Amino acid sequence: MQTDTLTVTSSTSSYPVVVADGALATLPQRLGALGLQGRVWLLSDTTVLPLHGAAVVAPLRTAGYTVEPFAVPAGETSKSQTQLDAIYAWMLGGAVERRDVVLALGGGVVGDLAGFAAASILRGIPVVQLPTTLLAMVDAAVGGKTGINHPLGKNLIGAFHQPRLVLADTTTLTTLPPRELCAGWAEVIKHGVIKDAGLYTELQNLAADYCHPAQAAQGSVVTWAAGDPRFSAIIRRAVAVKVGVVSRDEREQGERITLNYGHTMGHAIEALAGYGTLLHGEAVAIGMHIAARIAASMGICDLGLVKSQRALLHAFGLPTSLPAGLDAQALIALTLRDKKVQAHKVRWVLPTTIGNVVIRDDVPEELVRAALRS
């Protein structure tokens, strides 16, 4: 499986990122190779643990590990202080030790929550990310960003805590509901727009093959075609974009900001609509469309890019329009709480061509408002 392994190598850490069918079966050997021999605290959610928990617990216990499973309620609302306190009580009540390891089995919510718990309990213990959603595999599980939401904004409380291992078993994607799978494609498309034009072209080709006329009303690629090797290859290529960026800029001092394409407005939309109303990938897709429209209005990109990106987002079942009832001024106000704000200026990630973006802090508010209206 070495050909399926990428490596994050930054100034402070180095760890493997494995993307392969059946990767979970190799977990005991990989933990042993990393010297992780303590008790295993398996954190998941109420949807994922019944689906994939046994595939993690059984081989670990056979290998001699003590495994303690715990499930939080599924959904974005679990990225909260309340659930974090429940995790602390579970682990501290069970006499967690620094030699132990947290396994994060699930999507981005579980990964962020478990990662923050691992970063903060006993001043930090190891965490291993086991992403089971497309969004988590290509984005959230890689890079060490952890945290919880606050009523004033998404991911405003957290820490950088790099995992010791990311193990992405692509067979778990066959159990994803269609809407969850579609939401994950937003981050894959994002990686193509910001860094890899070839990946973007591969996604266009995939959409052309799978978005048949009979599916035109839905306009989405919702079926995971396990027999088509292009799916796994595209996921690995998208993960490689994240691995490369994180290796070069671990703590978002420069290039890593480009990974937030679509997130500045996407996070604001999530917060104002109410966490859980939209999936994260859906909000990011809308944010990407708004960012592209802003870029076109400023003459940074042409309208062809806006139309191409919009068509590709739609082909993968993603929205580009705001939910009804969201106030434009309230959304703009929320962008000022974005973590990338510097000197009270919002730093927007804007596309120039497919595969290239720029960071701008001089976007007139009227252009943002116009993009929201459109």
- pLDDT in the model for residue 252: 81
Which residue among the candidates 161, 242, 293, 314 is catalytic per the annotation?
A: 242
Phi/psi for 28 (5° steps) reads -55, -45
* Alpha-carbon span 103 to 163, nearest angstrom: 10
Annotated binding site for Zn(2+): 187, 263, 280
98 classed as catalytic: no
**Tell me: the pLDDT tens digits for 107-155?**
999 999 999 999 999 999 999 999 999 999 999 999 999 999 988 888 8
Mean pLDDT taken over the chain: 92
- pLDDT in the model for residue 230: 85
Q: Which residue has the tokens 């994050």?
A: 8
- pLDDT in the model for residue 227: 65
**Both structure tokens of 75:** 């959904």
252 classed as catalytic: yes
- pLDDT in the model for residue 217: 45
> CB–CB of 16/165 below 8 Å?
yes
123 classed as catalytic: yes
Report, as an integer, the average pLDDT of 84-113.
Answer: 98
- Identify the burial level of 49 via C-beta atoms within 10 angstroms of its C-beta, where 0-12 means exposed, 13-18 middle and 19 or more buried: buried
* Alpha-carbon span 40 to 132, nearest angstrom: 18
Report, as an integer, the average pLDDT of 30-36.
Answer: 97
Of the chain, the percentage scoring pLDDT greater than 70 comes to 94
Which residue among the candidates 76, 180, 252, 282 is catalytic per the annotation?
A: 252
Report, as an integer, the average pLDDT of 187-212.
Answer: 91
- pLDDT in the model for residue 223: 52
191 classed as catalytic: no
Q: Is the pLDDT of residue 212 over 80?
A: no
> CB neighbours (10 Å) of residue 32?
13
Which residue among the candidates 52, 79, 237, 267 is catalytic per the annotation?
A: 267
Report, as an integer, the average pLDDT of 287-307.
Answer: 98
- pLDDT in the model for residue 3: 57
Strands (E), the chain: 5-9, 14-20, 40-45, 67-72, 101-106, 127-131, 145-150, 153-160, 165-169, 348-353, 356-360
Annotated binding site for NAD(+): 108-112, 132-133, 145, 154, 172-175
Which residue among the candidates 180, 250, 260, 347 is catalytic per the annotation?
A: 260
**Tell me: the pLDDT tens digits for 244-292?**
999 999 888 889 999 999 999 999 999 899 888 999 999 999 999 999 9
pTM: predicted TM-score of the whole model, two decimal places = 0.89
Q: Is the pLDDT of residue 340 over 80?
A: no
Report, as an integer, the average pLDDT of 189-193.
Answer: 98
Which structural domains are found in the chain, ordered by start? 2-173 (3.40.50.1970), 178-227+259-373 (1.20.1090.10)
Minimum mean pLDDT range among 216-220, 345-349, 358-362:
216-220
345 classed as catalytic: no
Minimum mean pLDDT range among 165-169, 219-223, 259-263, 323-327:
219-223
289 classed as catalytic: no
Minimum mean pLDDT range among 214-218, 229-233, 288-292:
214-218
> CB–CB of 286/265 below 8 Å?
yes
190 classed as catalytic: no
Report, as an integer, the average pLDDT of 172-183.
Answer: 91
344 classed as catalytic: no
Which residue among the candidates 180, 187, 250, 282 is catalytic per the annotation?
A: 187
267 classed as catalytic: yes
Which residue among the candidates 79, 164, 237, 263 is catalytic per the annotation?
A: 263
Q: Is the pLDDT of residue 334 over 50?
A: yes
Q: Which of residues 242 and 152 earns the better pLDDT score? A: 242
> CB–CB of 309/193 below 8 Å?
yes
* Alpha-carbon span 43 to 354, nearest angstrom: 38
282 classed as catalytic: no
Report, as an integer, the average pLDDT of 195-212.
Answer: 88
